[in-house]
Structure 1
Amino acid sequence: MMLSLSPSPHKPKPKIQLRSSLFILMISLIIVLLTDSVFYTYSKRMLSSELETKLELIADTIAISIKHSKAGEKYVENLIGQNLRTASLALQYKLDPDIEKVTNEELVLLSKELMVDHITLMKRSGDDIIGYKSTEPKEINMSTKNWSRDWFKAFNQLLDTKETNVKTGQALPNYWSGPMNTSMSDPQYVDKWGYYYDGRTNYILDPYVHDTFFRDYQRETGVDAVINEMIHGYTDHGAEEIAVFNPPIFLGQQEQYKKEGYTWFTDREILFGSYTMKDKRDQDMVQSVLKSKQTQRLLTNIDGRSYLKMFIPLQLDIPVVIGLTADYEKVQNSLNQQQRNLLLLIATTAILAFILVILSFRFINRNREATAESVQEVYVDHIGSLFRSMKEQRHDFNNHVSTIHSLVHLKEFEELSRYTAELIGETTALNDIIQINVPALSAIVQSKVIQAVERKITFQHDVANLKDIPLGAVKATDLVRIISNLVDNAFDAVSLPNKEGDKQVRLVGYADGHSLIFLVINNGAQIPSELLARIFEPGFSTKNPDDLHAGLGLSIVKQLVDKYDGTVRVSSTESETTFTITIEV
């Protein structure tokens, strides 16, 4: 029966594992989204922290400004007080020492001449001290005994020609100037008063001015100027509104002095800045700051926009609280922009990653196809060689039968015995079909069997239990090249002209744990010990130098084994030479 081997008309091609790649991409996308969430939270904290740091720096600047401005304002207020004392001395010089001889019209003319806003003359009336004559009609007959703080006490000390000794105001010889405050007679003004009495008149001289100059000074160089620069200056400090709260008044912890709808200057809720961006929780925040002496934060929504409010404690003459309001929309917009950029980057990266995965799978599949085709070619070539040899032997079978018939007929039994022995040896070799679970390896071994028969070499092979070890880590083509070169080298070693006796080559292959081991043994001439270290060098050979392939086989074996981090060992004695290959899989 004639055997033939032809390739299958449809070769199965490895398919891209699209489902696996999509699963990997989904996992990667989930990881990226989680990372994005962490990044978003981290960025929000960082931007919020940066905004809070800016507001804290503003608070520090305002605190320093308040302390410096208070010193400057105190100096300016004292200058005004000194000028009012000078005006008092000028008034005393021009006025009659008897209050009854002074007219209100005269006081009006003198106020214009001395450039003060008003002049009041005060005298005792029973247990009270009243305004008796004045350029301001509301000051006439105005009682002072119920005035708060140190005012009434200072008036009595002056009239008693004693040195004024009160906690507030400015004390000079025969003179006391009270702190700037809301006018009792006209609450729309905040005034600065000066009170002079040296005993040469029967009244206290009281020239006073409105706070126009003082407020101009505050507006240009004081705390309000600093606050205005922080909010409306060229540099964006992040604050939309700044207010310095006067806690006792803001929290309603003491009754405010109000008259005709006006709030006393010293009893105002907001000492500096403005307070228009309100939240119902502001009072609770101020109360918490006073109690804990720690900064408090509040996120709020005002007119549809998000704002961050910070309340920071500050110690002046009394504890106060600095309130700062910042536009939180800027932080949110910045986060949204970063988020959009990051999502665009993620989308671009995901598309590129998907394309790279597809291209990678295609590249891998092409390599697999090339490897499969290469293995198939090797297998087909060697199997083809085997069957060609078998066809040739079958073709000669009739000649062998005719020869045997003739020798029998001629009764040449001795020759017949020799001839049949040779024929049986060849037939046995050809019929020795090995069973190896690696097709490419089976093909190369069978091919070497045919070559051994043709070269009159006894070739034995024992390849066992390879199915117990995964061979996917080693390319079939590399395995074929290793075995082929080692066996060819052994065939050449036993085929040297000086070789006597049988030519024997043996191939042994087996698995030991995770190790793949092959031994190729031949009974050729011994390799000198001094040459063992060089036999794997490219171009080095102990054979005929005219051989075109001399010196290449073993170097190829060494390169392939090194590729898999394996080892090649060689031992040579007078009786046999053994090459041992070990590869971990």
Structure 2
Amino acid sequence: MNKPLKRKPQIQLRSSLFILMISLIIVLLTDSVFYYYTKRMLTSELETKLQLIADNVAISIQHSKTGEKYVENLIGQNLRTASVAALYRLDPDIEKVTNEELTTLSSELMIDHITLMKRSGDDIIGYKSSDPKEINMSTKDWSRDWFKAFNQLLDTKTTNVKSGQALPYYWSGPLNTSSTNPSFVDKWGYYYDGRTNYIIDPFVHDTFFRDYQRETGVNAVINEMIHGYTDHGAKEITVYNPPIFLKQQKPNVIQGYVWFTDREILFGSYEMKDDRDQEYVQAVMDTNQRKQFLTTIEGETYLKMFIPLHLDFPVVIGLTADYGKVQQSIRHQQTNLLLIIGTTAVIAFLLVIVAIRFVNRNREATAESIQEVYVDNIGSLFRSMKEQRHDFNNHVATIHSLVHLKEYEELDRYTGELIGETNALNDIIQIDVPSLSAIVQAKVIQAIERKIDFHHDVVNLSRINLSAIKATDLVKMLSNLIDNAFDAAIHSAKDTDKNVNLLGRVENQLLIFEVINHGDPIPSDIITELYEPGFSTKKGTGAHAGLGLSIVKKLVAKYNGTIDVRSNENETRFAISIPV
């Protein structure tokens, strides 16, 4: 009788260890699935953030090109004005003009230098100038547009070249590196109307234009993306000039200076380099698809992503993000999860050992009791394991839902709490100030093109939080209302200035925007029809489908907001109010 009783605990020990091992394997497999799924989700979130940054930079480049072209043309017009002023101050015979006169005149006209150019054989040279480096400067080897434009001017023909700005008796070349002083990027103007025997060439350095770019251009947006209040995830943003970066086109280099238009990096910076960068830029150009890889720079892991931008010239944007944060987050989660699993396993194992020892000491008298304790402990262990697995599945399901809903900040907060962090994170995405600035900037440019006086006053938006979807819908609302206001101002029969105002504020937990125009009033008998799909007050123009206000109405209702319109002889005011 004693032998069987001695063997029973041994059988129970082996069975218990086997069951415990299977349980641990199940938990470890669950943990592994959770680990890799979480890694994929966090990586996908980072990739999505980088793609959004690339989209914002692409929009910024498009808008900045329009704005910069406008500013450059203004500089060109000012140079023409300076040319005409110089025409009346200088002797029409170039031999009677001195370089000292040109130096004094440049200072009075508040430009950097004036050069007088004339034909010399088959060349056109700088003959007199306030800048000694411009004297005897040859132009016949310059690009086809420039030398062709000079000859057209001297032949009193209308300037007809692909680049630059053509005005009566005048042509202005695009901003580029100075051939006589390559440390400067200059803007030149050339004037000739036949009253002199020379071309008047005033020019200025690019100081003002660079200031404009730095404050409102692409580099300003990139700087905000990297160093702004909101962490967008990028450590470096680089906009490549593929033909030059890939050595497919040799850049013009003068006295060690690369020609301004031939620079490898159009915008941003390029400090975080990898030997594979050229290979991946080439792959993006060949496939027109996004490419990425992980790299180690100075001991830190980064994700480098290359994205083609669909502009009117070949551009690839490179984004470098700190992948170490993703790895650190996963490691912290894994450590805590393994700690929980290990603690549970050790406790369970110790309980089993204690139970078996107890059975060995009382194998005959308490055999039945030992078996019950054994079963209870194993059942408790399985329940614990199932609860843990259930929690893991809940965590995975929650993370999946948050990713599906694109609630990335909430995802960050949730995973932070899972690993024991106590810092509370915002559970919604903040308003993207650069994006709001971009849409306002776009409307400012449209207003300038349509000769509308557009004013905007948007305040206190930093105090509220908007979801990404809500922010996108808000941009749609404002865009439709502003476009309608522009049309009303343009088609007004009033003999007044074309004014449109945009007002925005937060008041009593309401986000309020008002769009005001001073065009013709809306008849009171059709106000109730304004929001009907297909209804338009601009019948007969052929350019309006009558859907704008209908869209705005639906979007406002979507967020339990209100839209109101008031129209009289003085102004028409559309106001939307959305709870925040």
Fold conserved (TM > 0.5)? yes
Partner of 1:122: 117
CA distance in 2, matches of 1:30, 1:371: 30
Partner of 2:182: 187
* TM-aligned CA deviation for residue 35 of structure 1: 2.7
2:150 matches 1:135: no
CA distance in 1, matches of 2:175, 2:293: 35
CA distance in 2, matches of 1:118, 1:338: 65
Do the aligned partners of 2:86 and 2:105 also contact (CA within 8 Å) in 1?
yes
Matches within 5 A, 1:91-110: 91-110=86-105
Amino acid at match of 2:325: K
CA distance in 1, matches of 2:364, 2:164: 99
The farther-off stretch of 106-115 and 34-43 is: 34-43
Partner of 1:46: 41
Note the alpha carbon deviations across 1:149-184, whole angstroms, 9 max, x for none.
Answer: 411111111111111111111111111111100000
TM-score when normalising by structure 1: 0.59
Residue 11 to residue 192, structure 1, CA distance change in 2 (3 Å): closer
CA distance in 2, matches of 1:9, 1:282: 76
The farther-off stretch of 341-350 and 246-255 is: 341-350
Matches within 5 A, 1:258-407: 258-354=253-349
CA distance in 1, matches of 2:368, 2:321: 69
Residue 117 to residue 372, structure 1, CA distance change in 2 (3 Å): closer
* TM-aligned CA deviation for residue 41 of structure 1: 2.0
Q: Which runs of 5+ in 1 are unaligned?
A: 1-7, 374-585
2:26 matches 1:31: yes
Partner of 1:113: 108
Note the alpha carbon deviations across 1:472-493, whole angstroms, 9 max, x for none.
Answer: xxxxxxxxxxxxxxxxxxxxxx
2:216 matches 1:221: yes
Matches within 5 A, 1:483-494: none
CA distance in 1, matches of 2:85, 2:368: 120
CA distance in 1, matches of 2:177, 2:149: 18
* TM-aligned CA deviation for residue 87 of structure 1: 0.7
CA distance in 1, matches of 2:158, 2:314: 31
Partner of 2:238: 243
Note the alpha carbon deviations across 1:446-503, whole angstroms, 9 max, x for none.
Answer: xxxxxxxxxxxxxxxxxxxxxxxxxxxxxxxxxxxxxxxxxxxxxxxxxxxxxxxxxx
Partner of 1:152: 147
* TM-aligned CA deviation for residue 32 of structure 1: 2.3
Identity fraction in percent: 75
CA distance in 2, matches of 1:19, 1:334: 38
The farther-off stretch of 191-200 and 360-369 is: 360-369
Partner of 1:82: 77
Do the aligned partners of 2:5 and 2:363 also contact (CA within 8 Å) in 1?
no
Residue 115 to residue 25, structure 1, CA distance change in 2 (3 Å): same
* TM-aligned CA deviation for residue 111 of structure 1: 0.8
CA distance in 2, matches of 1:368, 1:189: 100
Do the aligned partners of 2:359 and 2:366 also contact (CA within 8 Å) in 1?
no
CA distance in 2, matches of 1:75, 1:307: 39
Residue 354 to residue 79, structure 1, CA distance change in 2 (3 Å): same
* TM-aligned CA deviation for residue 98 of structure 1: 0.9
SS across alignment from 2:137: coil
SS across alignment from 2:138: coil
CA distance in 2, matches of 1:310, 1:198: 53
SS across alignment from 1:150: helix
Amino acid at match of 2:246: L
TM-score when normalising by structure 2: 0.60
* TM-aligned CA deviation for residue 315 of structure 1: 2.8
CA distance in 1, matches of 2:49, 2:139: 48
Note the alpha carbon deviations across 1:221-276, whole angstroms, 9 max, x for none.
Answer: 10000011111111111111111111111111112111111000011101101111
SS across alignment from 1:65: helix
* TM-aligned CA deviation for residue 354 of structure 1: 3.6
* TM-aligned CA deviation for residue 348 of structure 1: 2.5
CA distance in 2, matches of 1:153, 1:326: 47
Amino acid at match of 1:121: L
Partner of 1:177: 172
CA distance in 2, matches of 1:368, 1:167: 105
Amino acid at match of 1:320: V
Amino acid at match of 2:230: T
Residue 37 to residue 94, structure 1, CA distance change in 2 (3 Å): same
* TM-aligned CA deviation for residue 10 of structure 1: 13
Q: Which runs of 5+ in 2 are unaligned?
A: 370-580
CA distance in 2, matches of 1:46, 1:123: 67
Amino acid at match of 1:175: Y
Residue 358 to residue 119, structure 1, CA distance change in 2 (3 Å): same
Partner of 2:248: 253
Note the alpha carbon deviations across 1:508-534, whole angstroms, 9 max, x for none.
Answer: xxxxxxxxxxxxxxxxxxxxxxxxxxx
CA distance in 1, matches of 2:285, 2:3: 87
SS across alignment from 1:166: coil
CA distance in 2, matches of 1:194, 1:203: 13
Amino acid at match of 1:179: P
Amino acid at match of 1:181: N
Do the aligned partners of 2:112 and 2:204 also contact (CA within 8 Å) in 1?
yes
* TM-aligned CA deviation for residue 136 of structure 1: 1.2
Partner of 1:434: none
SS across alignment from 1:176: strand
CA distance in 2, matches of 1:231, 1:73: 23
Number of equivalenced pairs: 366
CA distance in 1, matches of 2:121, 2:248: 35
CA distance in 2, matches of 1:102, 1:353: 102
CA distance in 2, matches of 1:159, 1:309: 53
Do the aligned partners of 2:240 and 2:318 also contact (CA within 8 Å) in 1?
yes
* TM-aligned CA deviation for residue 349 of structure 1: 2.6
- Larger relative contact order (CA 8 Å, sep ≥ 6): 2
Note the alpha carbon deviations across 1:304-335, whole angstroms, 9 max, x for none.
Answer: 21111111001323111001111111111111
Residue 199 to residue 360, structure 1, CA distance change in 2 (3 Å): farther
Do the aligned partners of 2:359 and 2:367 also contact (CA within 8 Å) in 1?
no
RMSD: 2.6
